[in-house]
Structure 1
């Protein structure tokens, strides 16, 4: 209990389902031994695992750090939205970060930079760009033989986790972040805000009850960024990196993925009453870029239309 005697600034909620190996790598990447410039008492990680036949379990969840709390839930629906809202309700911090996909490792400066933003601007929204490990988007690469074994070889090639920034060397921007750093994107897997803001938003919309939560994460991201009095900071020099795990939108083959996408989009339209557009808010860029990020800065510049 001594660890949480003083008020925490940040609670990171990580959702896990049928991805034990990938989730353990994510938790290693969130640990104080991997993250730079922070201590375990600066933040907590709340792991919420929906029951499956491939459990991470408490021992593996808490293996790499003393600031991890683990919750195992029985879930009757095929969505993580209830787990997210449950996890956020356990938060001891003044601010919360939502990571809907437990298979996303993060870069080594993301926790410190999120903390720095919230210390300066407590009412800010914070996110980090999303990437896919591999040299193509995983929903494309899976049709060409990409799998966990291929990915393991890529990670071994950069000697991960010795230098987490080398993840940028074996990654591409995710589909929702193809626009780069200088214009709005569709979502993030590292979405941060104050607990007060989270409560005002009402958390994640529980109506997103389809595969993987459907567009629940996009919906949260858009509502947060477009909410009043919410300056938006993009941790452009950091990132979350999706590991292959046979997920709904990245691990299924082309025809099946198209069917699922349509199903999820139909539900999104039914809930929102309109086709989805990215948030209208442009980011305030925050951070100092590692050289591995330079090529993505060039990509982002190429995506900006000249004045």
Structure 2
């Protein structure tokens, strides 16, 4: 195992389950050869994989960088929440970023800009908007035949990973981020904070023990952004891009998805009551936008002007 000469500033916890090809691309997008303006000494990637019949495995998880640490777990419940809390407990950094879904590739400036924010404001919360690869939300596209082969063609069309910002050219905002950049959305797949704040929040709520963790990520996001003394910085020019992998909420057909959503919603009501609106905070927009992201800025302005 790679031994760090110094502790990294940021620990990125990435959860993997039954998505080996997608997870490897995500890890590649987290490597210092892809991320701009950082070195492997600045951050670490903690990959936690729950056991399945489609394993990523240590060899593939660590092939792109030496700052990746891999853990394989035999999870007994159908949820990633225990893996998240386990991964965060392994963190060496003063700050931690949570990626509940290992199938989401990142843009090349997200690590550097996260570190820049924490240099200015150690108590901040940092997140990036979420996107789905394709011309419509994947939970809709799957009913029209969208699959991994169609997505591979899209990635080939932009010659990924040559320019990671071209992911914007083949994507749409995820359902939880339809409100745009000028207000807090429902969640993010890149949620960063200090380790002190993570401990204050008690990590991810382990009671979310159903399909894919249910709304555990939305709950964490809301609790963090509404936590006292937590300025919220949105990396509006960066993003996480969901790859199709047959996931619970994006890869199942309409009838089955509706049934699962009902179960997850019922559990969320039990745990959070009716207080399930997006976090009541406004983001501080941080960073710069690649031209490919301009159309999403226009979308965000339209959302504000229509209110």
Q: Is the aligned partner of 1:147 residue 2:147?
A: yes
Q: Distance in 2 between matches of 1:233 and 1:58?
A: 33
Stretches of structure 1 that go unaligned for 5 or more consecutive residues are none
Compute the displacement of 1:276 (Å): 1.5
Q: Distance in 2 between matches of 1:83 and 1:183?
A: 30
Q: Distance in 2 between matches of 1:267 and 1:5?
A: 44
- What's the TM-score, normalizing by structure 1? 0.98
Deviations 1:90-109 (A, max 9, x none): 00000000000000000000
Compute the displacement of 1:306 (Å): 6.0
Q: Is the aligned partner of 1:193 residue 2:189?
A: no
Q: Distance in 2 between matches of 1:115 and 1:85?
A: 22
Q: How large is the RMSD of aligned CA atoms in angstroms?
A: 1.1
Contact 2:2 2:66 (8 Å CA) reproduced: no
Q: Distance in 1 between matches of 2:30 and 2:39?
A: 11
Q: Distance in 1 between matches of 2:154 and 2:189?
A: 22
Counterpart of 2:206? Answer: 206
Q: Is the aligned partner of 1:91 residue 2:91?
A: yes
Q: Distance in 2 between matches of 1:109 and 1:80?
A: 26
Compute the displacement of 1:150 (Å): 0.1
Compute the displacement of 1:275 (Å): 4.9
Deviations 1:59-116 (A, max 9, x none): 0000000100000000000000000000000000000000000000000000000000
Counterpart of 1:235? Answer: 235
Q: Distance in 2 between matches of 1:306 and 1:134?
A: 26
After TM superposition, the structure 1 stretch with the greater mean CA deviation from structure 2, 164-173 or 6-15, is 6-15
Contact 2:2 2:67 (8 Å CA) reproduced: no
Stretches of structure 2 that go unaligned for 5 or more consecutive residues are none
Q: Distance in 1 between matches of 2:278 and 2:236?
A: 17
Compute the displacement of 1:199 (Å): 0.2
Contact 2:133 2:241 (8 Å CA) reproduced: yes
Q: What secondary structure does 1:60 align onto?
A: helix
Q: What secondary structure does 1:8 align onto?
A: coil
Counterpart of 1:254? Answer: 254
Structure 1: which 4+ aligned runs deviate by more than 3 Å?
none
Contact 1:3 1:41 (8 Å CA) reproduced: no
Q: Is the aligned partner of 1:57 residue 2:45?
A: no
Q: Is the aligned partner of 1:273 residue 2:273?
A: yes
Compute the displacement of 1:7 (Å): 2.8
Q: What secondary structure does 2:88 align onto?
A: helix
Counterpart of 2:47? Answer: 47
Contact 2:189 2:240 (8 Å CA) reproduced: yes
Q: Is the aligned partner of 1:78 residue 2:81?
A: no
Q: What secondary structure does 1:304 align onto?
A: helix
Contact 1:142 1:253 (8 Å CA) reproduced: yes
Compute the displacement of 1:6 (Å): 1.9
Deviations 1:160-209 (A, max 9, x none): 00000000000000000000000120000000000000000000000000
Kindly tell me the number of residue pairs found equivalent between the two proteins.
Answer: 307
